[in-house]
Structure 1
Amino acid sequence: MPSKKYARAFVRILILLLVIGTGIWLRALETARSGQPGWLPWKTQATVTLYFKDGNFLFPVSRRLPNDQNLPLAVLQALQQTPREGTRLQTVIPSGIHIRSVTLENNVAHVGLSAWPNQPYAEIAIVDTITELPGVTSVDFNIAGEAYGARTKRIPLLYFASATGLVSIPAKVSTSREVLDMYLSGPPAPDLTGLPPDVRLLAYDYSGARNALSLKFSYTPSLRALATERPDRMRTALLGLIATLTQFPEVRTVQLDFGGQSRLGLGQCSDLLRTPQTRPALLNDERLL
């Protein structure tokens, strides 16, 4: 009878919901026991970028964290914990330093630490990690209850391709044009990759109304060879160029054109060409390290 048929369907749906609810409860229980953050269906996630030390450079790592009121503090706590073993990455905040507080007010992050981390790149890594959060433009430090130094704005970075992903290099510049000129001068180490040295900038067009930057470059044999022989490195280099330029708030999108080509090499980079590109959502996905 139809009533029995509907009743059986209702029971099946009820059992399914019970199984799903039990799974969520068990996972939340396990999370609570371990003291570690876990997945909850009603909790949204934010992708944050953490800057670790990798030899003489910085190495940005994208990680997903719960997007709640504790996110600013959680970001700095995550920066104090290096990714899994085998990555060779080092934190700039030693474990003996206590992160006392991180609060946001009027686009400024107020960071309280028990001591100053006397590590190379410490200030740059902390400031650029915190200012990756939407709306945060500068950082005030408080060390052991006392104000430390002047308010620090984001330090521009050059992003070049390496064998393990994008690496970051601090740049003493203040505009997107200056950082582009420095990027085109080439990477500081032979194992890093940017655009080949014979590639020339032909046109630089910026629209303030759209916060859009359009760049036209020459298409050279060395560029074609790089894209054909090392397509992954070529793609990473282009993503690095886009990340280098879109770190400035006045540049929301970048459009790259190489001699009107619709693709480079075998076409692995075609989606990055001749269309506006926003800042890459992931800079070295931690899950792929």
Structure 2
Amino acid sequence: MKAGHPGNWRWGWSGTALAFMLLVLVVLSSGCFSNPKPADQGLPGKTAKERRPLLDDRELNQVLVYYLTQDGSYLVPVTITFTPTREVAKVAVEKLIAGPQVNGLKGVMPDGVKLRDIYILDDQQTVYVDLTKELLQLKDNGQAERAIKALVLTLTSLGNARHVQVLVEGQAVAEVGGVKLDAPLSRPATINSLLKKDNQQGVQVYFNDASASFLVPVTVALPPGATGSDLPRAAMLALLAGPPPNSGLVRTVWPGTRLLDLKIEQGLATVNLSREVTGYGGGSAAETALLNSLLFTLTQFPEIDRVQLLIEGQKREYLPEGSVIDNPLSRPEQLNFIKH
């Protein structure tokens, strides 16, 4: 009996160990100790396998990114160039987060924010932008609105994406700084609104920032004599009127300039201005701002793709600083160009 005891004990211990090992394998296979699910599995009906990188159809080397004027009051679209890539959306968000590399502008994002991921899912209509927790440092509602708006404006100008879903550390959050983020965001109707009432009809024009270094798109109320049925004319009248008082913006057209006529035919807008338009007398910066504000203001309308400038009903070869205006001008390819 005693001789048989050690053998029985050894057999019993081995059987117990084997059973324990089998139990561990069952537990592990059940997922009790598996890695956490990917963040996007927390989104209804979505799995990690459905993620797709957000790629443009072709390689591009420039993008429009939104920063802030020096005083933080207005969003400013700037054109940034880089090495050609199809990952334009990723580059755009990284440039947005990094902030401008020039004087006169400010970044919109809090310090320390980084891009964790950017992708689309099966519907391809919504861009998912996953940022780090530093985004939650946005406490001021105005600052948060401008930061999120800049992000949405930047991304919805690329490809076919119509909506932007902002995530923080892989998870959807209810709000940041009072800005609701619990659902995808659409492109806002205005970039910088100077309208005093929510139901007031306005029109977008381009003025200079306080330093006259960058063009700023703002939506202003329809000027006297303008109607919503003719928005190109309303935009021209608003541009000639100059920015509202105390806006901190600078006019781009010389005071006293009058709109003598505006005709639109087959995509060509013929703008006839009074002689006061050249009152600046020279200065390449003033001349560039004049032409660019005119072109960006008018070519925002789908019925206009070219602009012919007349002065007192006559074509001129050049403006005082040498800008050629004898033929129709197209919308410039770059707005507020910044070379990084």
- Indicate the TM-score class for this superposition, using the shorter chain for normalisation: 0.5 to 0.7
Instruction: Work out the percentage of aligned pairs sharing the same amino acid.
Output: 21
1:127 matched to 2:180? The reply is no
2:165 pairs with one of 141, 146, 158:
141
* Match of residue 235 from structure 1: 288
1:161 matched to 2:208? The reply is yes
Residues 251-266 of structure 1: matches in 2 within 5 Å?
251-259=304-312, 260-263=314-317, 266=320
Q: Matched residues in 2 for 1:145 and 1:184: separation?
A: 45
* Match of residue 186 from structure 1: 242
Residues 5-16 of structure 1: matches in 2 within 5 Å?
none
Q: Amino acid of the residue matched to residue 161 of structure 1? A: N
Contact map agreement 1:57 1:167 (CA 8 A) in 2: no
SS at match of 1:142: strand
* Match of residue 258 from structure 2: 200
Q: Structure 1's 186 and 67: CA in aligned 2 closer, same or farther, altered over 3 A? A: same
2:299 pairs with one of 246, 254, 259:
246
Contact map agreement 1:160 1:240 (CA 8 A) in 2: yes
Residues 65-84 of structure 1: matches in 2 within 5 Å?
65-84=82-101
Which digits, 9 at most, give the CA deviation of each residue in 1:142-181, with x for residues without a partner?
3442643652245355322354522314316895444334
* Match of residue 275 from structure 2: 219
The number of residues matched between the two structures is 237
Contact map agreement 1:171 1:179 (CA 8 A) in 2: no
Per the TM alignment, residue 214 of structure 1 is displaced from its structure 2 partner at its CA by 2.4
* Match of residue 101 from structure 1: 118
Per the TM alignment, residue 267 of structure 1 is displaced from its structure 2 partner at its CA by 4.4
Contact map agreement 1:111 1:141 (CA 8 A) in 2: yes
Q: Matched residues in 1 for 2:205 and 2:122: separation?
A: 28
Gaps of 5+ in 2: 1-57, 174-181, 192-203, 222-227
SS at match of 1:266: coil
Contact map agreement 1:59 1:168 (CA 8 A) in 2: yes
Q: Matched residues in 2 for 1:128 and 1:275: separation?
A: 33
Per the TM alignment, residue 61 of structure 1 is displaced from its structure 2 partner at its CA by 2.4
Which digits, 9 at most, give the CA deviation of each residue in 1:17-42, with x for residues without a partner?
xxxxxxxxxxxxxxxxxxxxxxxxxx
Q: Amino acid of the residue matched to residue 59 of structure 1? A: V
* Greater Rg over alpha carbons, structure: 2
Contact map agreement 2:152 2:185 (CA 8 A) in 1: no
Per the TM alignment, residue 77 of structure 1 is displaced from its structure 2 partner at its CA by 1.4
2:327 pairs with one of 270, 275, 280:
275
Contact map agreement 1:127 1:155 (CA 8 A) in 2: no
SS at match of 1:215: strand
SS at match of 1:238: helix
Gaps of 5+ in 1: 1-42
Which digits, 9 at most, give the CA deviation of each residue in 1:33-91, with x for residues without a partner?
xxxxxxxxxx954222222101223333221134433111211211111222x614222
Q: Structure 1's 88 and 198: CA in aligned 2 closer, same or farther, altered over 3 A? A: closer
Q: Matched residues in 2 for 1:87 and 1:255: separation?
A: 34
* Match of residue 63 from structure 2: 48
Q: Matched residues in 2 for 1:180 and 1:137: separation?
A: 31
